[in-house]
């Protein structure tokens, strides 16, 4: 599987899209300077990133921009070994705060799941985005990228799920 596009998307998100508010939230938490979940993810320390994100999530206002950013980082950290929890955390936030979540957020979370070959969970997130924005180009690109990854992987369960949902 070629993950170059997914890695570039992750790096772009981390360096461009994560707002300054996340940095400020980290600075406001005692000891957080040593527990930046984004940095831990970049270092491949997913379990530590999960712990750091959980601690930070407990300290931010629910429904705030910081909360959204942390949920997305948390979902990325979880994608490596706990894909069901990654999917569930993001979709729960998207359901509770639908006005805060945009197409690119779905694309980012699916990208993280794809990177770790968590195709069944990626399908769930993609499908939720597709149901919300049926005719959106970003979501359509996401569907195509996921279809290609699944076809290349030969993952029969994921192919069957995509077919069952009408995507293949």
| pLDDT bracket for residue 8 (50, 70, 90) | very low
Q: What is the pLDDT of residues 94-105, one digit of tens each?
A: 999 999 999 999
- Rounding to the nearest 10 degrees, give the CA dihedral for residues 41, 154, 127, 114: 10
pTM: 0.80
**Helix, strand, or coil (residue 113):** helix
d(Cα 123, Cα 126) in Å, to the nearest integer?
5
Average pLDDT over residues 9-26: 42
Average pLDDT over residues 8-35: 45
d(Cα 100, Cα 7) in Å, to the nearest integer?
24
Beta carbons within 8 Å of 2's beta carbon, 6+ residues apart: none
Domains of the chain: 4-164 (1.25.40.10)
Q: What is the pLDDT of residues 36-46, one digit of tens each?
A: 999 999 999 99
The single residue listed with the structure tokens 């597709």 is 130
Q: How far separated are the first and last CA of the chain, in Å rounded?
A: 19
Structure tokens at 57: 């999530």
| pLDDT bracket for residue 34 (50, 70, 90) | low
**Whole-number pLDDT of residue 37:** 94
């Amino acid at each position: 599987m070629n993950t170059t596009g997914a890695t570039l998307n992750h790096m772009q998100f981390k360096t461009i899209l994560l707002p300054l508010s996340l940095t400020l939230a980290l600075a406001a938490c005692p000891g957080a300077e040593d527990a930046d979940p984004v940095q831990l993810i970049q270092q491949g320390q997913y379990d530590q990133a999960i712990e750091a994100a959980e601690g930070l999530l407990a300290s931010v206002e629910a429904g705030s921009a910081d909360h959204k950013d942390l949920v997305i980082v948390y979902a990325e950290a979880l994608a490596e070994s706990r894909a069901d929890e990654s999917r569930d955390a993001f979709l729960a936030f998207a359901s509770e705060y639908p006005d805060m979540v945009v197409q690119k957020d779905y694309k980012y979370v699916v990208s993280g799941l794809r990177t770790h070959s968590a195709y069944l969970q990626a399908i769930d997130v993609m499908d939720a985005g597709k149901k919300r924005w049926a005719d959106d180009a970003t979501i359509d690109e996401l569907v195509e990228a996921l279809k290609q990854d699944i076809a290349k992987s030969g993952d029969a369960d994921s192919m069957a799920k995509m077919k069952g949902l009408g995507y293949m």
